[in-house]
Amino acid sequence: MLPSSVDASLPTRTALPTARIGAVLEVIICSGFPTQLLLIAVLRGFGMPIQSADGGLNPQFVFSVSLLDAGLVIGLVLLFLRAHHESAREVLLGRVRMLREALVGIAMIPLAFFIVVLIMAIVLTYVPQLHNVLNNPLEDMLKTRTDAAVFAVVVMISGGVREEVQRGFIVHRFGQYLGGGALGVLVYSALFGLGHLEQGYDAMIATATLGAFWGFVYLRRGSIIAPVVSHAGFNLAQVLKHLALR
């Protein structure tokens, strides 16, 4: 009979490469890029235009892709967790007091703005060429208050909820199989920044930094609640700022 230590470790070592491959596939599928490309193809196939008559982004198309992708990605995350017999509550919400975490998230909103202001100030001072997009294309598509109101809901759901569910799941998988949670935060933050490339290089850097901030909060607290509240509140405040400055 094999010693107990050898017997216990052998199945784990045998299964680890397969588990890592599975984790990589799950991370890619839940990263948002495959699902958004699929939804864009489907909506265009049904005849919905990406651009509006004036050449800008079509709000209906952007809102539809964002909300459908939120539902699809969150559903996939829950499906993968269930397939591994993992509790979504344990992995995503953690064992925390939800009200306290929500208050922490609210308290972090000013810090999120400080991070963005600091990044933009550094960019404009030392590398102004990175400010390559003068007008945010997402803000330009908000022609009416109705557009802005719908957009506020969209960014809270697709940004505050979906992206933090994604981040929590990806960081969790990295922590299990792919080199650690901190690496997962950095990898997903880079992807998070790239997803905002159309808003400019400076915005890409700022959003990547914000993503790392929210990712490390999840890693430290073991819950997405504070990042969700902070992210959703930050996005809502951005829309309200846009309305106030019009």
Residue predicted with more confidence, 15 or 222: 222
Domain definitions of the chain by residue range: 4-245
Is residue 173's pLDDT more than 80? yes
pLDDT in the model for residue 12: 52
pLDDT in the model for residue 4: 38
Is residue 2's pLDDT more than 60? no
In percent, the amount of the chain with pLDDT more than 90 equals: 69
Q: What is the mean predicted confidence (pLDDT) over 64-86?
A: 96
Residue predicted with more confidence, 72 or 244: 72
Which of 24-28, 146-150, 203-207 has maximum average pLDDT?
24-28
pLDDT in the model for residue 3: 41
Using CB atoms within 10 Å of the CB of residue 185, give its burial: 0 to 12 exposed, 13 to 18 middle, 19+ buried: buried
pLDDT in the model for residue 210: 94
Alpha helical stretches, state H, 30-163:
33-45, 59-83, 88, 98-126, 137-140, 145-154
Closest CA to 112 of 186, 200, 215: 215
Q: What is the mean pLDDT of the chain?
A: 89
DSSP-assigned letter for residue 11: H
Is residue 242's pLDDT more than 80? no
Q: Are 104 and 226 in contact (CB under 8 A)?
A: yes
pLDDT in the model for residue 116: 93
Q: Are 243 and 148 in contact (CB under 8 A)?
A: yes
pLDDT in the model for residue 13: 54
Q: What is the reported pTM?
A: 0.88
Q: Are 133 and 203 in contact (CB under 8 A)?
A: yes
